Structure 1
């Protein structure tokens, strides 16, 4: 594998890991305590990481580029769908 391919895969994994960390905060009994602003920053970094991953390595075929963009769009959609940017604090 080329270095750019490895960097692209690591950016996908970094984005997923940041999202999991940000959402594990809202679970009862979690050892991680973050404010809403800190969760938004983590989710924003995850979206940026996933958003840049398809453009690090240029695909040789059109199908490859479409697949990379589809995976990135699906992961970003999951961040919004699973409440990455929602405030979960109790009143």
Structure 2
């Protein structure tokens, strides 16, 4: 096996943090679906001097943050961005 990419390493850390030793495939899929939009839209990459989504499609998903907060059920802790 080759080296893990930065994406894979980050995903592994995130899954371990959220799931511990759980091997529930539905939970794993749920957290992967949460991690991918954050990685593509919310994590600035200095090596490419942009966000991956901007680089590949030309624009970021403006709702990525609200989706992340709702998916992780953090509405009581974090402020949702208002539209407009």
Q: Give the TM interval when normalised to the shorter protein.
A: 0.3 to 0.5
Q: Which has the larger radius of gyration?
A: 1
* TM-score scaled by length of structure 2: 0.37
Between structures 1 and 2, the one with greater helix share: 1
